[in-house]
């Protein structure tokens, strides 16, 4: 089976993970931190707003069962990409809207999808989503993994 990986930040990683976890073609999800300056950050570190990391979900998927384009569509639909470092009541750099691409094909598709959304007129404000090369992924503490599922909480997005 062919596997690919993508990483998205769209606010609190609990809800982002839940939006992707059960999709047909998604093999696994893991929440964690990416894009910052500190090695091996903890949740407490990231919440200081000083590490530069975003809360993210890393997704392994089978591209013959779910396309990267479909994953991008879901990413755009589960958050407000016009709010800088904020989703709902959560604010701070760790909640930024970001697509971390793992190869040039993903980069191209992510940029195209952002442009399509900008041109659609759906939002009056500019889209602030960053599209950047994936860096070291630091898996979050175990209690954050599948947080909403373990608590039968549904979603927070």
Active-site residue list? 12
- Contacts of residue 68, Cβ cutoff 8 Å, sequence gap at least 6: 4, 6, 105, 106, 109
Structure tokens at 100: 């971390």
Q: Are strands 4-10 and 26-34 parallel, antiparallel or unpaired?
A: unpaired
Q: H-helix or E-strand containing 75?
A: helix 68-77
């Amino acid at each position: 089976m062919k596997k690919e990986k993508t990483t998205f930040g769209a606010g609190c990683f609990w809800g982002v993970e839940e939006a992707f976890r059960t999709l047909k073609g998604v093999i696994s999800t893991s929440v964690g931190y990416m894009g910052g300056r500190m090695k091996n950050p903890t949740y407490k570190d990231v919440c200081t707003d000083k590490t530069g990391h975003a809360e993210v979900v890393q997704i392994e998927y089978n591209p013959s069962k779910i396309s990267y384009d479909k994953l991008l569509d879901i990413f755009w639909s589960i958050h407000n990409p016009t709010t800088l470092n904020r989703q709902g009541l959560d604010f701070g750099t760790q909640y930024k809207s970001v697509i971390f691409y793992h190869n040039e094909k993903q980069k191209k598709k992510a940029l195209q999808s952002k442009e399509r959304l900008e041109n659609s007129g759906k939002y009056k404000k500019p889209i602030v989503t960053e599209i950047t090369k994936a860096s070291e992924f630091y898996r979050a503490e175990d209690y954050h993994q599948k947080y909403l599922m373990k608590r039968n909480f549904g979603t927070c997005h």
